[in-house]
Each structure stands twice: as structure tokens, then as C-alpha cells.
Amino acid sequence: MSNFEYTGLAPRRWITMDGDASTSDAQDRATSEIISGALNHIDGARLLSVSLNIDGIVATEPPPWLPIPVSTINGLPSFVDVSVQMKTPGGHYAHVRVWVPLIWNERFLGLGGGGNRPGGNSMIMDPPQTAQILSLPDAIRNGFSSASTDGGITDPRMIDWPLIGDTGTLDMELIQNWVHRSTHDMTVIGKAVTEAIHDKPPLFSYFFGGSGGGRQALMEAQRYPDDYQGIWSQDPVISYSKLYPAEFWPAMVMHAAENPMPPAKFEAFREAAVIAGGGSLQDGLNFVSTLDPVDVDPFDLIDTVTSEGVITEADASVMQQIWEGPKADDGSPLWFGLRPGVRSWGAIGLAVVADTPEGPEPAPFFIAERYLGGWIAKRDEWNWRDLTLKSYHDLFQQSIEEMAFTDTDDPNLSNFREAGGKLLLTHAMDDEVIPHQGSVLYFERVLHEMGGLDKTSTFARLFLAPGAGHISADGEGPGLTASAAMSGLMKWVEEGIAPTSFIAERWDKGGVEILSTRPIYPYPAVAQYLGSGDPLQAVNYEPSTLQD
């Protein structure tokens, strides 16, 4: 019998706790002596601090690589804040932060990070309601004990932290911390601290990771199948060695063509793709709604007038190359390009153009730029403008050869299935930085490896959200909220009720009002409009498959 109920109060709030559900002696057990004793069996673990927070107020602790102002988070339940140091190979020390609420739902939630950082104090945050990122405050508000780790990565450089000075070498032990070790260590430590405080282990353990954290989520299922019963991997980086070089491609195309296209021209191409892909230009429906390839020819838009100039043949060529994605010398695709219809030239995107004193120029996605410069070229000072198409392709191939071990694309999930685990893989189809096609490709390989759709769907399901943006619920179309996804995952794990659909929600930018809803179904099914009723309401859709 659970001590909570599912309520779905907000996009990231899905549980309401019974106010009388606290463990009677949890506060008394939150001592250095008891917690240190619980860590004795973990080689390399050392307790740093224990504190009790009963006023529900914490200050954020931005790490050096994330220079944002300190802010205050309010309205938290009483909890125990524990810091643990973990010695790892290579002389590194990972720092694990564990939060354990006194009123506990008897479940543990491991948290991934973002980009190429595994987490840590950056997960002490209160994101906007529409950002579908789960933080330590989110976890304890929903009654979970929770943990996050920095993996021993303390370098102030956000992306190229493995680069050792000007030696041209990478710290491979630190990379291995990030790839898999630190997330597993965090899990073991988090569960041990939880059990020490509440005098019993978690009944169930879950993991959430989005974007780079989604890579951690898949890694847990593939390498540590006994760590978690339920895993949600959202908009994940799966093929790290291919994705980041491919994210550089739009800037490379514009640079090589000496044609940095303005947003208005990109938008004209996008709108043509939306119409071709079954969408419309109406607010709330302004996105491609099909899984089928979008049949749109950018050269048909030559001579179209936009607010920033007439579309030229050179513009159409740039758009075509960006949509097609980078290719090898033999013409085979190296990775996916931007799907036609996706907007990726806003504040964050892959096809951004910046105004400079010398005029407009492409602004490569910052992770992709420093990945190629630091991880692959292995230079602290690296000017991407010196790249040619040939040298870019050389770096791409080098990335595949040197960094394939960082990928989490193993389709054999037999051990996870046999351990009773459930994997919820989700991806926004208008993801502006991580093409959803990567998740589809991986899931298709899982289906092949694990015996087909019927057998695979007993433990792993993929849900795609047309129109939704990267880890958000305020894009062009409805996105899957953490509230819906986590409720569905928990019921699948604990009650055996597999999710057959979710109601995706599109919120206003302030996270106050739901603007539209639409059902999303397990791949390969998609939502099909019934032909009558408000197309912004989920009730007017039914499932359809690619073959229908």
C-alpha cells in the first residue's frame, strides 16, 4: 500500500504525499555516524557532510562552468542533505549529492545531467515549469530520495574538460567516469544513504535523464541492468561520436558556401516542409505531424520573397544539404540532418547566424564546436573557421574511430529485460539539437535484436511527440510532461500497466495555461485527426500506424 497518490498537479509534479507518512526515527538516524557506517562497504566512498533542512529553503550552487546567478528555492519538504566523496581511478574525486525527504515515498530517483556533464550541484535548480528536466528539488517534492553526481569533473571549461592543458591528450579515466562509472557509483551511494536514514531500502528505484542525461539513462539499462526497475530516457544523446560532429554540420555548410542564411529564409523553407508534412501554419498545428519522410524540394522556393531577401539557388542548396545531413565520400549518410520542418535557428539551435563586425556568420552549436576542437582536434585554442569540408569530414571520421566507446547504442537489452526493468524512451520530433531519428534508429535495432515489437513492448517502448521541442512542453506542438511520463512509468513498473498512450500538453511560455493537447502512442503508431472537432484537443485523435 503506497503512502501517496498520483495527482498531476503540474508538469513536473505528479505525486502528493500523505503528510503522516514520515519514518518516525528518520530525523534521528540522519547522523554522520550512521551514514558513514552505511558507506563502509563502498570502496572509495567518504562522507563529507550531513545537514537537516526543515525550513524548505535552499540556495542554488552553480558550478564554475555554469556562470549563472545564485538564486533561492522555496517550498521544499523537510529533507536530509548529504554530500559524499567517491575516489575514482586516475586520482579523481567525484562528489555525490543525496537528498532524502523525511516524508518519503519509499522510492529512489537517480538523476542524469546534461550536455556532457553527469550532473552534480547543477541539479539543485528550479527550472521553468515548461522545461521537462527533473532536479533534486523536483524529486523530493514528489517524495523521492534522490542523487546526482559531478563525476569528478570540476574543470571550469564546460565542454572540453577532458583536455589536459596543451598536451594534446585527453584524461581517459575522467571520460570513463562520465561514460558510466560515476552514474553507477552515485546509484549505489544514493540507495545506501537512503537506507541508512530510513532504515529500509527503497521499494523501487527509477532513473531520469534528458538529453546528455538520456545517454546516462540508456547506459544504465545497457551496463548496469540491476540498478533501476524503471528508466526514462528523454531526447537522448545515443551515438555521441556521431551526433556532435553532425550538430556542427549546418554551420559548416553555410561556412563552406559562404552563405550564412538569415532566419526569415530558414523559416520560409520550414513552413513549406510543415505543409508538405501534414501540418498547417495555424498556431498549435505548425509542425510536421507524420513519421513518414517529408517530401519537400527546397529548390521549389527559389525566387520566394522573404523579409530578409529573395531565396536564391544558393540558399536552396544550403537548405538541402542541412536537411540531408553530413555524408561520407561515397555518399552514404554519416548521421542525420535537421528534419524538414524543425526550427533550429533560435536562441539555441544548429543553424544560428550571428551578427559580427565583419557581417553575418554562422554560429556553430557551442557543444559541437568545443567537442570537435577539444575532444577530437585536442587543441585548447582552435579556430573552426579554418575548417574545410575535407578537414571537417576527417574530424568526423576520427570522432567515430576514437569515441565510439562513449556511445550508448547497444541494442541487446536482454539483461535489463530479465532483471524486470522497464524502459521508457521518448523523443520530441521538433527537437532542435538532437534529431529524433537517432532514437528511432536505435529502437528499430532493439526491435530486431529483442525479437520484434510484441516481445520488446513488454519492457521497452518508444513514444514520439510531433511538434515538441528539446526537453520542453512549450514548443510548436504538445510535449510529454514529466508528470505524465513518470506516472506512466511507475504504474508500468509497480502495477504492470504498460503505457498505451500519453496525453501530451502544450503550455504557454510561462507554464500557466495548457494551450493544446494531443495523444502520443507507442512507436510506430501516431495520432491521426478524426476529421471533426477541435484539432487542438486530444479527444479528437485516434492511433494510426505507418502502414495504415
Mean local confidence (pLDDT), 376-399? 96
pLDDT in tens, 322-352: 999 999 988 999 999 999 999 999 888 999 9
Taking only the tens place, the pLDDT of each residue in 25-48 is: 999 999 999 999 999 999 999 999
Dihedral in degrees, nearest 10, Cα atoms 223, 224, 230, 233:
-40
Q: What is the pLDDT of residue 111?
A: 99
d(CA 328, CA 339): 19
pLDDT digits (tens, 9 = 90+) for 55-64: 999 999 888 8
Over residues 182-186, mean pLDDT: 99
The pLDDT of residue 355: 92
| pLDDT tens digits for range 72-101 | 999 999 999 999 999 999 999 999 999 999
Q: Are 517 and 536 in contact (CB under 8 A)?
A: yes
Residue 296: its pLDDT value, please?
98
> Which domains does the chain show, CATH number per domain?
1-14+32-198 (no CATH), 203-238+408-548 (3.40.50), 246-404 (no CATH)
Distance of CA 188 to the CA centre of its chain: 22
Provide the 8-state DSSP code for 157: -
- Check whether 256 has a pLDDT greater than 50: yes
DSSP string, 495-546: H------EEEEEE-TTSS-EEEEEEE-BTTEEEEE-SSS-TTSGGGEEEEET
Supply the mean pLDDT for the chain: 95
Per-residue model confidence (pLDDT) at position 511: 83
Residue 547: what pLDDT?
45
**What does the pLDDT read at residue 469?**
96
- Judge whether residue 548 has pLDDT over 60: no
Q: What is the pLDDT of residue 21?
A: 54
Percent of the chain with pLDDT over 90: 90
pLDDT value for 377: 97
* % of the chain exceeding 70 in pLDDT: 98
Residue 131's identity, in one-letter code, is A
Whether 165 shows a pLDDT value over 90: the answer reads no
Cβ neighbours, 10 Å, residue 404: 13
Distance CA 474, CA 325 (A): 27
Residue 233 · residue 214 · CB < 8 Å: yes
